[in-house]
Structure 1
Amino acid sequence: MSPGENLDPIPDCFILQPPVFHPVIPYVTTIFGGLHAGKMVMLQGVVPLRAHRFQVDFQCGCSLHPQPDIAIHFNPRFHTTKPHVICNTLHSGRWQREARWPGVALQRGASFLILFLFGNEEVKPFLLQSPRLVPCSRALPQGLWPGQVIIVRGLVLQEPKEFTLSLRDEATRTPVMLRASFTDRTLAWVSPWGFKKLISAPFLFYPQRFFEVLLLCQEGGLKLALNGQPLGSTNLDQQTLERLREVRISGSIQLYCVHY
């Protein structure tokens, strides 16, 4: 098998669409394969200085008239005394009960980068700030314990080589490392002794595309999810988990979030 050969077929729901630059508003397009768990949509723009509101609708059809059902309505509003975001659903021409988020990180006259991440039963919108430099290290003062979650969000560079997420103990040893290799398109757990355990799943890291890695600590090890899709686990005893004191991210990415 050649190094560049794809080891797993890519499901239709993960086929990437090319970006659209400077669309005319209102803009309507088809999302190939529909909105499945693990799908991401990125929206980049600038809020006009005198903007009252704007909206992003994920709807069940491409027509403007008649209006189709809207599964997700995302509507930042700036013209009130207290700017806020409205989220809602339109079904059979009727709006359902709205959710209102007080406070808007978006500002008039400012640029923004919003990422929508779709799960099995929910959608998460993120307002991304300026990227952080890599390699990046964050302390784990109390180690890891069952129920703790580590979340890493970033953007893969145009010509990537690899991405690594390492967990280190106080002696700066690395009991476990998650490595994505863009050369052979593999995702694997790597042990301190060089043992590599390939993760049998479609390789979902793509140049100039966003990703979210989630590690869930549980008794006996770590569970992994990528873009909301569970990808199995790796075994670590509780003593090893408690001794971990640092999470380190490196590789061919722009880093936007490290949360735990």
Structure 2
Amino acid sequence: MSQNRQSLSIEAVRSGLRADCAQCFGLCCVALPFAASADFAVDKDAGRPCANLREDFRCGIHARLREEGFSGCTVFDCFGAGQKVSRTTFDGRDWRQDPATARRMFQVFPLMRQLHELLWYVTEALALPAARPVHGELRRALDRLERLTGGSAETILATDVAEIRHEVNTLLLRASELVRAGVPGRRKNHRGADLIGASLKGADLRGASLRGAYLIAADLTGADLRSADVIGADFRDARLGGADLTGSLFLTQAQLNAAKGDAATRLPEALTRPAHW
């Protein structure tokens, strides 16, 4: 496959990994549980519709979620799993009109979200020239994930998603190492580190491993995170004003949504500046 055709294919896959709430039956507002906390104003059990969900599957307080105590909703990203389950897996049959589908639909949704998240990471790795030595394996992983996510509810429910995550993560780690090996100088290893509230203002974190790091409320103002691997890093309330995140590896919209940036924060092209920054 030529580089141009592969790029087009990757973009085609990615277009389906962006949430389209208008095509979803409000699954994140029903299938998932949440507990009263700083992120949610009330408790809600899995499978019970949020009190703010309207009959048309839209949120009744969408414009003022943060003011009403539902900031957790503004952070969440389903990676397009909502519309896939609603329109493809269940062929447009919603859980209100067809209650018999509800239980399976609510079980499939969180699994689909995990699979779509993996698709997002794999497509990013396939777009990295330095990761070319693993592109063949990544392409096979992409094809497998696409077939699986396009399958039946029964197929998805019978899938060992944890095993697939482990297999794909091995490839993503290899891709990350290939990219970060090209960054000059000593690369910091903060994998899984407790950096809660850490002062990293202006830090040179180019090529660093921040996989799974706890960066809650950390000060990353003006930090350079180019080519840093941030997969699974917890950026809740991290200060990213003026930080350079262009080229950060495996950064997601949900991570940005949870952080605090500003107009000077530089972002990868595939992601958007959160409205609440």
Larger radius of gyration: 1
Q: Scaled by the length of structure 1, what TM-score is found? A: 0.26
The structure that is helix-richer by fraction is: 2
Bigger relative contact order, structure 1 or 2, given CA contacts below 8 A and separation 6+? 1
The structure that is strand-richer by fraction is: 1
